[in-house]
Amino acid sequence: MAPKFQIKAFQISRLVKNFIIFSIVTLSFLLVFFSKSDLYLIHGIKNISSSVIIPITKVISAPINTFSNFVDEYNQFRSLKFENKILQEEIIRLKKWQTLAIQNSRENNVLKKLLNATDNNLILIKTASLINRNDTIYSKLINLNAGYEDKIKKNMSAINERGLVGKVIDTTSNNSRVILLTDPNLSISVKSISDGIFSLLTGKGDGKHLVSSFVKENKMPRLGDILVTSGTAQIFPVDLLVGKVIKVEKNRFFVLPFVDFENIDYVQIVTSK
């Protein structure tokens, strides 16, 4: 009698099962419907996935990560001699530029004082390191080890030494998620340094290039023009380096970002003053 009773205890009635399935399907429908809103439930799910699931997935995928790092180091070691030669040449070139830059900086400071101009400096919120990246399949996202406890807020800009990296789209207490410039769902308002042509750029989808989605008055920039953030949308601070025009077509142009998105270790979260 006892085993029979046990089996009966485990068997849930068909009605309860159907109710559970119906609840799951309804919950899924609601989650899909409200996924882009700022609901507490959605935020909670994202919070748990960032703070609990990411560390677990990191531990499970650690062997492949170690192998990947080993191959990377081996490749770097192989190209050490060649890289050394290039770096020596670059040092000579940069020393010449440094002298020129110091002169220009002094001149700039003097002119600013004469004009009584205010600096358009950025406020550095936090320098954060990369926890993991989700930029192979579909979206181009990275996760950082700093969140709203470090005063990082949504829509702040992420930069590194080369220029604009992306925008903060989600923050939890100790993590934040940054959408990279190369994501097709991120638009940035830019202007060319030489002509001041305003345009909107989005990710091309290949993870490497940006493409124009709108050009003001259909004025195309020239090949090789450098683009910076225009600051007009008031999301990104003004004058952050974005990239260089590499191809111009009749109605659009392509941009190669300055940031090497494959080699991001640290980013700075900044906002404008």
Partner 1 sequence: MEFSKFLKSSSKLNIILIVSFSISVNSFILFPNINNSFYVLFHLTLIYIIFYYYHYYLYFVALIYGILFDIFLLNSIGAHLIIFLSLLILFILLRKYLIRLSSNQIIFIYFISLIVILLIEQFLVILIHNYKFNMSSFLNFFLISLIIFIPTVFLLTKLDK
Closest CB to partner 1 among 112 and 154?
154
DSSP string, 152-187: --TT-EEEETTEEEEEEEEE-SS-EEEEETTSTT-E
For residue 137, state whether it binds partner 1 (rule: CB under 8 A).
yes
Q: Among 44, 68, 101, 195, which residue sits at the site for partner 1 (rule: CB under 8 A)?
A: 68
For residue 138, state whether it binds partner 1 (rule: CB under 8 A).
yes
Q: Among 44, 196, 205, 224, which residue sits at the site for partner 1 (rule: CB under 8 A)?
A: 205
Least distance to partner 1, CB of residue 3, Å: 7
For residue 28, state whether it binds partner 1 (rule: CB under 8 A).
yes
How many CA atoms are closer than 13 Å to the CA of 164, on its beta-carbon side? 36
With beta carbons less than 8 A apart as the criterion, state whether 218 and 231 touch: no
Check residue 190 and give left, alpha or beta (phi > 0: left; psi -120 to 50: alpha): beta
Least distance to partner 1, CB of residue 218, Å: 23
For residue 265, state whether it binds partner 1 (rule: CB under 8 A).
no
For residue 44, state whether it binds partner 1 (rule: CB under 8 A).
no
For residue 117, state whether it binds partner 1 (rule: CB under 8 A).
no
For residue 32, state whether it binds partner 1 (rule: CB under 8 A).
yes
Q: Among 38, 44, 53, 168, which residue sits at the site for partner 1 (rule: CB under 8 A)?
A: 53
- Environment class of residue 230 by beta-carbon count within 10 Å: exposed (0-12), middle (13-18) or buried (19+)? buried
Q: Which of residues 162-191 bind partner 1 (CB under 8 A)?
A: 169-170, 177, 179, 184-185
With beta carbons less than 8 A apart as the criterion, state whether 171 and 153 touch: yes
Across-strand partners of 130?
Answer: 144
* H runs (alpha helix) in the chain: 2-10, 14-34, 40-48, 54-60, 62-78, 80-115
Closest CB to partner 1 among 171 and 192?
171
Helical (H) or strand (E) element with 142: strand 141-144
With beta carbons less than 8 A apart as the criterion, state whether 112 and 119 touch: yes
For residue 39, state whether it binds partner 1 (rule: CB under 8 A).
no
Across-strand partners of 186?
Answer: none
Closest CB to partner 1 among 155 and 185?
185
| Residues near partner 1 (CB under 8 A) | 3, 6-7, 10, 12, 17, 20-21, 24-25, 27-28, 31-32, 35-36, 42, 45-46, 49, 53, 56-58, 60-61, 64-65, 68, 71-72, 132-139, 141, 169-170, 177, 179, 184-185, 205, 262-263
